[in-house]
Amino acid sequence: MKLTFYGGAKSVSGANYLLEIRDSSTGSGLTRILVDCGLFQGCDFCDKFNFEPFPYDPKSIDAVLITHSHIDHIGRLPKLYKDGFRGPIYSTAAARDFSEELLLDSEHLLTKEAENKNLPPLYDIEDVNQIMTLWQTVKYHQKLKIKDFEIEFFDAGHILGSSFIAVKAEGKRVVFSGDLGNVPSPLVKDTEITDKADYVLIESAYGGRLHEDLDKRKEILEDLIEETVKAGGTLLIPAFAMERTQELLFELNELVENGRVPKVPIFIDSPLAIKLTSVYKKYSQDPAYVDSEALSLLRKGDAIFDFPGLKLTLTTEQSKEINNVSGPKVIIAGAGMSQGGRILHHEYRYLSDPKSSILFVGYQAQGSLGRKILDGEKTVKIFGEEIPVKCKVKAISGYSAHADQEQLLNWLKPMRLGLKKVFIVQGEEDQMEPLAQRIRDELAVETVIPTMGEEVML
């Protein structure tokens, strides 16, 4: 069995892994499956990777397995179709529904970006529509066969419908972590555990860090709202449309309904987040996906995505009208790393206001505007202008959907006795190295940080 790292190698984004085995029925042909096919994001040279031809023939791929619906795991699927792939794609039902909305939204943004940089479009709407016709859904623990590959999806606890995937062939079991969840989460179920693996690819976005606990993160959110409202400012929250926005809504629902924060307008200024929230509502009472606490609230009639003061701004006109709302307010808008979307308009307006605050609740990749603000740059460029950063800057890592170092180790420990090798992927090197060292020291397992395009015989 050969494993090749075509993304996620010394990089947070672009997850793309190729597994190949000899076809036992013929003894000569290859069976080839991909795990994830993500977009490279958050760096100045990412366009080069996204627009380059795939380093394999898409027509030769038998199937694609999708761990979850974030764009850095699914964003190049339409390009894969455009370049000739016609096999099946497998994920959970929730991941499929989210992926369709995210790919349609991404197509619009990528097309505009390509026009601005005088590049050909990466793909078009028809490629998105066609890729969805190939998409099949599986349930957790449903056994799947692709020729000689045996496959099983487990709940990764990262976002609704997310999975880690076990692939078995030639007597070897390889586990792809996808992105693992930060447990406990207020919405999704806890990450499952497996105790059998010969090889593991494990994400490392927070491989060198520990998160605040759940209660502490809610207290920080509560305190920052109170401080900003008291100062008469605006609280900006650049939030990923997927999961971060819905978790914030869940916790703001509790804070507002229990009178723990002042009553001020709270705007969700993201058409994509609003569309994705409707998908959450579709699956919100499905025990296969949703945490028992959230299920209990829903069954008591609590509309966890709706509360007094919440305003959804779907149209551009509604978004512009936020500026006319005087007094303190909270604005949750995409994109999560401030790389585009409506949050830029609000940052352009409020970053220079010392009464206002900006709160980062998700991972900020190196090179992103969000990372620059978080790292303390005094001015940042938005819409071609240098904007001074005078507002209060705060981050809560506890809202990240990614497991931290301790959680990653706890997920690996049950597999340690059978593990031959662990590959550290989907992180920046300063996060990969501490995780790799702890795995070597505490689990006594060989640990490798692969490079882009590296091939390994398993």
Longest CA–CA span in the chain (Å) reads 72
Locate CATH 3.60.15.10 in the chain.
2-209+401-457
Instruction: State pTM to two decimals.
Output: 0.89
Give the per-residue pLDDT at 45: 54
Decide if 160 contacts 284 (C-beta within 8 A): no
Give the per-residue pLDDT at 365: 81
Res. 43 pLDDT band, cuts 50 70 90: low
Res. 46 pLDDT band, cuts 50 70 90: low
Res. 315 pLDDT band, cuts 50 70 90: very high
- Give the pLDDT mean for 1-7: 97
The torsion defined by the Cα of 255, 256, 261 and 264, in degrees rounded to 10, comes to 150
Closest CA to 132 of 97, 162, 165, 159: 97
CA dist 15 and 12 (Å) reads 8
Q: Please give the distance of CA 413 from its chain centroid, rounded to a whole number.
A: 24
Summarize pLDDT for 375-388 with one digit per residue, the tens: 999 999 999 999 99
Give the per-residue pLDDT at 48: 77
Q: Does residue 330 surpass a pLDDT of 90?
A: yes
Closest CA to 93 of 127, 69, 73, 62: 69
Burial of 36 (0-12, 13-18, 19+ CB in 10 A): buried
Res. 298 pLDDT band, cuts 50 70 90: low
2-209+401-457, what's its fold? Metallo-beta-lactamase; Chain A (3.60.15)
The torsion defined by the Cα of 55, 59, 60 and 62, in degrees rounded to 10, comes to 120
Give the per-residue pLDDT at 242: 84
Closest CA to 36 of 68, 4, 9, 58: 68
Res. 27 pLDDT band, cuts 50 70 90: low
Q: CA 129, 86, 152: angle at the middle one, nearest 5?
A: 95
Contact residues for 172 (Cβ-Cβ < 8 A; gap 6+): 1, 198, 199, 458
Contact residues for 374 (Cβ-Cβ < 8 A; gap 6+): 360, 364, 393, 395
Q: What percent of the chain lies above the pLDDT cut of 70?
A: 96
Q: Does residue 44 surpass a pLDDT of 80?
A: no
Give the per-residue pLDDT at 218: 84
The more confidently predicted of residues 361 and 62 is 62
- Give the pLDDT mean for 413-425: 97
| DSSP H stretches of helix in 161-270 | 214-231, 244-257
Q: What is the 3-state secondary structure (H, E, C) of 244-284?
A: HHHHHHHHHHHHHHCCCCCCCCEEEECHHHHHHHHHHHHHC
214-399, what's its fold? Rossmann fold (3.40.50)
CA dist 357 and 391 (Å) reads 5
Locate CATH 3.40.50.10890 in the chain.
214-399
CA distances from 164 to 59, 72, 106, 298, 418 (A): 25, 15, 24, 27, 18
SS3 (DSSP) at 116: helix
CA dist 227 and 211 (Å) reads 23
Summarize pLDDT for 108-147 with one digit per residue, the tens: 878 887 887 788 889 999 999 999 999 999 999 999 999 9
Q: Does residue 302 surpass a pLDDT of 70?
A: no
- Mean pLDDT, all residues of the chain: 92
Q: Does residue 216 surpass a pLDDT of 90?
A: no
List the structure tokens of 105: 């939204």
CA dist 172 and 430 (Å) reads 31
CA distances from 357 to 83, 180, 223, 228 (A): 45, 30, 12, 6
Q: Does residue 341 surpass a pLDDT of 80?
A: yes
In the chain the first and final C-alpha atoms are separated, in Å, by 5
The more confidently predicted of residues 304 and 78 is 78
Decide if 39 contacts 49 (C-beta within 8 A): no
Give the per-residue pLDDT at 294: 75
Summarize pLDDT for 153-184 with one digit per residue, the tens: 999 999 999 999 999 999 999 999 999 999 88
CA dist 203 and 408 (Å) reads 8
Range 370-377, long-range pairs (CB < 8 A, 24+ positions): 370/238, 370/336, 370/337, 370/338, 370/339, 371/42, 371/337, 373/338, 373/347
Res. 441 pLDDT band, cuts 50 70 90: very high
Give the per-residue pLDDT at 303: 63
